[in-house]
Amino acid sequence: MESEQLLNDRLFGLVCFLITSARGLYSEPETYGPLRLIMGASQLLRTMEEAGLSDKALSAIAAKIDAGRRNITKDRQSGIDFLEELVIELAHLVKER
């Protein structure tokens, strides 16, 4: 019950984050779009971990996001390179599943 409540709170938090981000992005810098999306993905992955729904590969992606998310706002090319690497990693992950 306790973990169900925690999952509910985390998912509700994510919904709040996504909706308020969507509204905020009309008046925020362009790079905040990818940043908010990737942070939403990070929140979801962490929630999956807490709920026991993750695996080693997904945890590695979450860790990679947390370590590199600042690249997104550093400059355009750093952001593209960082996200490109994540996308390629996801492609291999999807292929193997």
Partner 1 sequence: MSILETIKARRSIRDYLPTPVSDEVLHQLVEAAAWAPSGSNAQLWTFVVVQKRENVHKLKILSPGIIGEPAAMIVICRDLERAKQLGIAGTESVSAWMSDGMAAQNIMLLAHELGIGSCAVRSFHPRVVQILLDLPAWIEPQLIVLLGYPTKEPTIPYKRPLEEMIHWEQFARSNP
* Residue numbers at the binding site for partner 1 (CB under 8 A): 12-13, 16-17, 20-21, 23-24, 28, 32, 36, 39, 74
- In the complex with partner 1, which residue's Cβ is closer, 76 or 92? 76
Our CA angle for 53, 84, 49, nearest 5°, is 15
CB of 86 to partner 1, least distance (A): 19
CB of 56 to partner 1, least distance (A): 24
- In the complex with partner 1, which residue's Cβ is closer, 21 or 59? 21
Cβ atoms of 34 and 87 within 8 Å: the answer is no
Round to whole Å and give the CA distance between 92 and 97.
9
The dihedral region occupied by 75, where left means phi > 0, alpha psi between -120 and 50, and beta the remainder, is beta
CB of 88 to partner 1, least distance (A): 26
